[in-house]
Structure 1
Amino acid sequence: MMIIEGPRVRLRPLTADDRARAQEILATPEVALWWGDAVHEVESLYEVEPGFASYAIDLDGETVGLIQSSEELDPQYRHAGIDIAIDPAHHGRGLGTEAIRTLAHHLFAQGHHRLTIDPAATNTTAIHVYTKLGFRPIGLLRAYERGPDGTFHDGLLMDMLAGELR
């Protein structure tokens, strides 16, 4: 994995030293609402699988969020998915938008023709940001993932083709 530079943010591979900060971000109530158990989710960020990459989102030397990509490497179906979490103390500053745009440019440059993202269907803030970037809703994933309350909730599958990134 490499460091990916955006206009303001820097995406760098997660290291063992990032574990506590990652857990802190994922444990904030605003993030945990969508991500679930912070300890479990942090461990999943460190899973090493082909095509899977996790990055710290740094702004002026401070880690303000986390972003990951999962790539389908089969040439017949080559595409990538993105997931993101921003520390609520940094919400509303366009940092998540910039981080996604930066990673999307990188993934398209790597040869992917399509990107996906799958927010909770009720996460209107995330859906607004993703739509602004060029993602389009393509389907409702019923009872898609278990929420922190133990019940399953719907997800919204969204995608973007190369050339649609705004």
Structure 2
Amino acid sequence: MRVDDTLSLRPATDADAELISGWTQAPEVHEGWGGTPLSVAEVLAKYTGRRAPRVASYLVVEGAEPVGYLQAWQDESACGLDLFIAAPAQGRGIGPRVARALAVALDALGWRPLTVDPAVGNERAVRAWQAAGFVMTGQQGVDHGRPTHLMVFGGG
């Protein structure tokens, strides 16, 4: 999926497992993504397409270089996005751009409400999701034992 002139999404595959695992070794990534680095085996089990069609796994690509991971998930009662950008690519606005593009596409397909759940205290993630078009609901949840903010996509 082409996002803009420099960014695209492509399906993550088993060949990407070491790369994705490597990204999660950086504290800037794993502190916001479950709290601990992921092994290659964990990545293969959950982040390279094995949970399709319930979870769609994508690599975020800038030019020809993979720079992050984005997944869209859906179950009987909810749907949402999860995202991280590799530490060296953070701070360039990549996350909000790819998240918004996928959210608009999923919203057009009827994925509603489309949610995200950044950790309470992760203001950088909250700002990024807001830049992508998500708004606070005032509700909180729990993910990996940590409190989260519930945000919903505001639409096109």
Equivalents in 2 of 1:90, 1:41: separation in Å? 23
2:153 paired with 1:160: yes
Paired position in structure 2 for 1:58: 61
Paired position in structure 2 for 1:6: 3
Identity of aligned residues (%): 30
Paired position in structure 1 for 2:17: 19
Any idea what the Cα deviations from partners look like across 1:120-166, whole Å, max 9, x if unmatched? 1111100011122221222112xx133xxxxx321111112434xxx
Paired position in structure 2 for 1:67: 70
Paired position in structure 2 for 1:111: 110
Q: Which runs of 5+ in 1 are unaligned?
A: 147-151
| Contact persistence 1:23–1:38 (CA under 8 A) | yes
Equivalents in 1 of 2:42, 2:32: separation in Å? 11
Equivalents in 1 of 2:42, 2:107: separation in Å? 26
Query: What's the TM-score, normalizing by structure 2?
Result: 0.86
Paired position in structure 2 for 1:45: 47
| Partner SS state of residue 153, structure 2 | strand
Q: Please report how far the alpha carbon of residue 41 of structure 1 lies from its aligned counterpart in structure 2 after TM superposition.
A: 5.1
Equivalents in 2 of 1:159, 1:41: separation in Å? 28
Q: Which runs of 5+ in 2 are unaligned?
A: none
Instruction: Please tell me the residue identity of whatever aligns with 1:38.
Output: L
| Contact persistence 1:114–1:162 (CA under 8 A) | no
Q: Please report how far the alpha carbon of residue 111 of structure 1 lies from its aligned counterpart in structure 2 after TM superposition.
A: 2.2
Instruction: Please tell me the residue identity of whatever aligns with 1:66.
Output: Y
Alignment RMSD (CA, Å) = 1.8
| Partner SS state of residue 34, structure 1 | coil
| Contact persistence 1:52–1:68 (CA under 8 A) | yes
Query: What's the TM-score, normalizing by structure 1?
Result: 0.81
| Contact persistence 1:6–1:98 (CA under 8 A) | yes
Q: Kindly tell me: are residues 134 and 93 of structure 1, through their superposed partners in 2, closer, same or farther at Cα, counting changes over 3 Å?
A: same
Instruction: Please tell me the residue identity of whatever aligns with 2:47.
Output: L
Return structure 1 stretches of 4+ with deviation > 3 angstroms.
none
Equivalents in 2 of 1:67, 1:119: separation in Å? 14
| Contact persistence 2:23–2:86 (CA under 8 A) | yes
Q: Kindly tell me: are residues 41 and 118 of structure 1, through their superposed partners in 2, closer, same or farther at Cα, counting changes over 3 Å?
A: farther
Q: Please report how far the alpha carbon of residue 51 of structure 1 lies from its aligned counterpart in structure 2 after TM superposition.
A: 2.6
Q: How many aligned residue pairs are there?
A: 149
Any idea what the Cα deviations from partners look like across 1:77-101, whole Å, max 9, x if unmatched? 5x53000010111111111111101
